[in-house]
Chains A and B, each alone.
Chain A
Amino acid sequence: MINITPLIPELFLLVMAIVVLMLDLFSSRRTVVVPAYVSMAAVIITGFLVFKFGGDAVRWGSNAIFVADSFSQFFKVIILGAAFLAIGSSFGTADRMTHHRGEFFALLLFSTVGMMFLVSAKELILLYVGLELTTIPLFVLVAYQKTNRASSEAGLKYLIIGAASSAILLYGLSLLYGYTGTTYLNEIAQKTAVYFLSHGFIPNAEGTTDLVGMGPAFSVALMMIIAGLTFKLAIVPFHMWAPDVYEGAPTPITAFLSVGSKAAGLAAIIRIFDGMLYAFSHDTMPNDSWGTMMAVLAAVTMVAGNIIAIRQTNIKRMLAYSSIAQAGYILIGVIAASKLGVASCGFYMFAYMFANMGAFAIVGLYAEKTGKKNISDFAGLSKTSPIIAALMTMFMLSLAGIPPLAGFMAKYYIFAAAIEAGYTWLVILALLMSVVSLYYYANVVRIMYMVDSDNKHHIIPSFPAGLVLALTGIGVLLFGILPQSILDMAYKTASSFIF
């Protein structure tokens, strides 16, 4: 008999997702409100359960399959927060749908469950199943506006690229399995560490004592796993899908995609590379070539994301390229491969969640009201809806990393971790790119405040959308001024890693 108590939060959310699905089926009133509020309540309760049943692991024999450690708890809070905010800001979107409203929320919850599994998985099969449970509902959600050509195109692109990237990841996982003969991450960590301590980075032909005697296969496996996971994070050169999908998808789904799926993918990368392959960044290692490779990826991502974002006219596309650039900053924390690095990654994701969800909520609200999606359409917003404009300013400045806001503290800790790990050149580049990013973030603020227009749209958010804006606004301010509590929590998350 296996002890499954650590799984209770996930099981609860899964049951609630099925309940929401059934609610849509058997209720005669075709309203969006009931399934949406039930989903929001389910997400909050799951959040409490995550803390109530944390700390333990589901084991098979002596190996952990599923761990509910503080690292996974922290990322689950981010994922559940993103789900909550996405549901809150999708009332308007769901209201304009004619069919299958309940499914919308059920699929969102299914995807959330998948992310929670992905964050906790310590075994390759569970990792893969969690990944697919995350992405398959998202394929459907992206293509959800059935009569909208752009939405269905985004769905097709996301499907093809998402499935291809998971096939690549899977091929890497199969090689890893063949190389080590086990699917448990902790056993893989032991075997690779022992192997590399005795053989160096790329094993030579005579040093192959492992089960199949193939050395370079391990490097290929690592490359394919990195490629597959960085597809999910939209790291350059695997970013091409992100702008198209972000633009075509319903706005709350775009927001959820850009925060939730990114957080889950990030957690998986940290687990695999900082947790399992810590040997690579260890002092006794002959070199740290994977660190250098990831550093180059991060650098290219920041440069490309920020520079292409400058010339975007569509606000969703601009935010898509900005989120690509943000993924580059986050990757710096992974590369640092230290306690501070993991903690700063967590904190960055936390701050990013508030600013990005808030920004997308405003974009969604504005598009619902006016049908306009260009940055220039925001002209005169400060006159007609001053509070919305002020909030948007806050989110933009937080994404850019301006001092009193959460985004600044996040960037600060990421850079501190990278300097500690000796990646000074990367930090200098990141600082330069932050300055570049200020240009396009501040451009939105300039258009809202400085450019006159005959825009008469007064935007009044509905109650859930208002709640989302209030929460994200408070989050961006509060965790910018008082980051300590979250930072301590984030620091605790790194305790399960060996550095």
Chain B
Amino acid sequence: MDIGLYHYLSLAAFLFAIGLYGILTRRNAIAILMSLELMFNAVNINLVAFNRFSGSDGLSGQIFALFVIAIAAAEATVGLAIVILIYRNWRSIDADRVNLLKW
């Protein structure tokens, strides 16, 4: 069996769905951040696979993926900093217990 574009796209779609599921169900803030990374990496697989199989000689998909990696790192950094802040203020990183603001 040859590995083609659809395999990569399916892998990316599964990863993305797992990440989204993680964000919706996880209560630990760190686990939520990890799920976010899964979603970003699913996009990277998509971009690189499209670039490889699209037949055009451009590299914009790969360059896009590089930018996504860099920005995801910045996002993760800010995210971890905010989680530390949450821990200092709430003594917990359980997202369900951080519930001062509602309705």
A and B interact physically: yes
Instruction: Determine the distance from Cα of A178 to Cα of B44 in the docked complex, in whole angstroms.
Output: 12
Instruction: Determine the distance from Cα of A146 to Cα of B90 in the docked complex, in whole angstroms.
Output: 12
Instruction: Determine the distance from Cα of A178 to Cα of B43 in the docked complex, in whole angstroms.
Output: 11
Instruction: Determine the distance from Cα of A171 to Cα of B45 in the docked complex, in whole angstroms.
Output: 10
B60 touches A177 (CB 8 A): yes
Instruction: Determine the distance from Cα of A155 to Cα of B101 in the docked complex, in whole angstroms.
Output: 12
Instruction: Tell me which of A132-140, A349-357, A436-444 binds B.
Output: A132-140
Instruction: Determine the distance from Cα of A280 to Cα of B16 in the docked complex, in whole angstroms.
Output: 28
Residue in A146, A157, A174, A211 whose beta carbon sits within 8 Å of that of B47 in the complex: A174
Evaluate whether A139 and B46 lie within 8 angstroms (CB atoms) in the complex, with A129-B67, A150-B101, A153-B101 already known. Answer: no
A167 touches B36 (CB 8 A): yes
Residues of A within 8 A of B54 (CB): 178, 181, 211-212
Q: Is A402 at the interface (CB under 8 A from chain B)?
A: no
Residues of A within 8 A of B29 (CB): 156, 160
Instruction: Determine the distance from Cα of A420 to Cα of B27 in the docked complex, in whole angstroms.
Output: 49
A248 touches B101 (CB 8 A): yes
Evaluate whether A147 and B89 lie within 8 angstroms (CB atoms) in the complex, with A171-B39, A212-B5 already known. Answer: yes
A136 touches B82 (CB 8 A): no
Instruction: Determine the distance from Cα of A243 to Cα of B54 in the docked complex, in whole angstroms.
Output: 43
Distance of B95 from chain A, by nearest CB (Å): 7
Residues of A within 8 A of B53 (CB): 212
Residues of B within 8 A of A244 (CB): 101-102
If over half of B's interface residues share one DSSP class (helix, strand or loop), that class is named, otherwise mixed; here it is helix
Closest residue to A128 on the B side, CB-wise? B67
**Chain B CB within 10 Å, residue with most, of A167, A183, A247:** A167
Residues 137-163 of chain A, each 1 if its beta carbon lies under 8 Å from chain B, else 0: 001100100111110111111011001
A156 touches B98 (CB 8 A): yes
If over half of A's interface residues share one DSSP class (helix, strand or loop), that class is named, otherwise mixed; here it is helix
B82 touches A170 (CB 8 A): no
Residues 232-247 of chain A, each 1 if its beta carbon lies under 8 Å from chain B, else 0: 0000000000011001
Chain B interface residue count, Cβ-Cβ cutoff 8 angstroms = 48
B90 touches A149 (CB 8 A): yes
A171 touches B43 (CB 8 A): yes
Closest residue to A146 on the B side, CB-wise? B85
B23 touches A160 (CB 8 A): yes
Residues of B within 8 A of A157 (CB): 101
Instruction: Determine the distance from Cα of A156 to Cα of B32 in the docked complex, in whole angstroms.
Output: 11
Distance of A14 from chain B, by nearest CB (Å): 16
Instruction: Determine the distance from Cα of A5 to Cα of B30 in the docked complex, in whole angstroms.
Output: 43
Distance of B64 from chain A, by nearest CB (Å): 5
Q: Is A164 at the interface (CB under 8 A from chain B)?
A: yes
Instruction: Determine the distance from Cα of A244 to Cα of B102 in the docked complex, in whole angstroms.
Output: 6
B60 touches A129 (CB 8 A): no
Instruction: Determine the distance from Cα of A247 to Cα of B99 in the docked complex, in whole angstroms.
Output: 13
Instruction: Determine the distance from Cα of A272 to Cα of B67 in the docked complex, in whole angstroms.
Output: 21
Q: Is A175 at the interface (CB under 8 A from chain B)?
A: yes
A182 touches B60 (CB 8 A): yes
Evaluate whether A124 and B64 lie within 8 angstroms (CB atoms) in the complex, with A163-B36, A171-B42 already known. Answer: yes
Evaluate whether A143 and B82 lie within 8 angstroms (CB atoms) in the complex, with A125-B60, A211-B55 already known. Answer: yes
Instruction: Determine the distance from Cα of A243 to Cα of B100 in the docked complex, in whole angstroms.
Output: 12
Which chain B residues in 69-103 approach chain A with CB under 8 Å? 71, 74-75, 78-79, 81-83, 85-86, 88-90, 95, 98-103
Residue in A125, A139, A175 whose beta carbon sits within 8 Å of that of B78 in the complex: A139
B78 touches A140 (CB 8 A): yes
Distance of B21 from chain A, by nearest CB (Å): 12
Q: A160-B23, A160-B29, A178-B49 are in contact. List 7 more A-B contacts (CB 8 A).
A: A128-B67, A132-B75, A139-B82, A140-B81, A146-B88, A212-B50, A212-B53
- 5 pairs of residues in contact across A and B, judged by CB atoms under 8 Å: A136-B78, A160-B29, A163-B75, A177-B60, A183-B60
- CB within 8 Å of A: which residues of B? 5, 9, 16, 19-20, 23, 29, 32, 36, 39-40, 42-43, 46-47, 49-50, 53-56, 58, 60-61, 63-64, 67-68, 71, 74-75, 78-79, 81-83, 85-86, 88-90, 95, 98-103
Shortest 8 CB-CB contacts between residues of A and residues of B: A178-B50, A167-B39, A174-B46, A244-B101, A170-B43, A181-B54, A183-B60, A132-B71
